[in-house]
Amino acid sequence: GCFMFVGTIEGWIHVFEHVEQDGAAALRFKFKLQFGKGAVTCITFVPARPAEERPPCLLVCAQKPDSNVAILDCVYGPPSGMLTSLQVRHRVPVQITTTPVQCCFSPSGGGHLISGSEQKSAVVCCISKKSSLQVFALKGHTKTVVAVAVNQADTMLASADIGGKLVIWRRRQEGSARMSVVPEVNLESLSPER
């Protein structure tokens, strides 16, 4: 089935299922999970990758007092394909107190969680069950990093801070999580295509 995940400021995750009802699309409430006490600021779905023993999971950012990004495994069935619960696999400590930050997923090298943080860096953590939890920071900002995104080819990462600075990172080698900064681009000199 198709599912939708909604986070609340009280730390709950609500799960809804897309259903056809009387010929029209509808959302049906399935269950909720008390994830923590801090506001949920971002939920990213990560599809399964059986070859790497990675089940489908969610990456969830939570503000203080939890102040972390969690990896929640999606548990299915029976019946087959029916999401029945979410289980916390690991919580990665990331400083998130008052600013809503985003996280994203990079499939490179078994998969990586990438999150903004109030520590003026983007935080990267391998989520493969085969590897030990390795967390490192990409430093290049002077303010809280609130947004992160990878390109479709998964060769570049963009991180943005609350001061408006955008840093573009390029993957050093195929399958690696290590990134290096692309020379700065003056965004004010760019103009949109007409």
SS3 139: strand
User: Could you give the percent of the chain with pLDDT greater than 70?
Assistant: 86
Region 68-85: what's the mean pLDDT? 88
Total-model pTM: 0.83
The terminus-to-terminus CA distance of the chain in angstroms comes to 41
In this structure, what token pair is assigned to residue 19?
A: 């259903």
Q: In percent, how much of the chain has pLDDT > 90?
A: 52
Q: What is the pLDDT of residues 161-178, one digit of tens each?
A: 999 999 999 877 655 555
Q: Per the structure block, which two tokens stand in for 74?
A: 């999606």
Asked if 63 and 117 count as a contact pair (C-beta separation under 8 A), the reply is no
Instruction: Give me 14's structure tokens.
Output: 């609500």
pLDDT of residue 193: 40
Q: What torsion, rounded to 10 degrees, do the Cα atoms 52, 69, 137, 149 define?
A: 70
Residues 97-145: tens digit of each pLDDT: 888 999 999 988 778 999 999 999 999 998 877 767 788 899 989 999 9
pLDDT at residue 191 is higher than 50: no
For residues 67-72, average pLDDT: 91
Q: What tokens does 103 get?
A: 């996280």
Question: How many angstroms separate the CA atoms of 12 and 32, rounded?
Answer: 7
Give the separation between CA 60 and CA 39, rounded to whole angstroms: 10
- pLDDT for 186 equals 42
pLDDT at 98: 84
Specify whether the CB–CB gap between 66 and 36 falls below 8 A: yes
The pairing of beta strand 40-46 with beta strand 24-34? unpaired
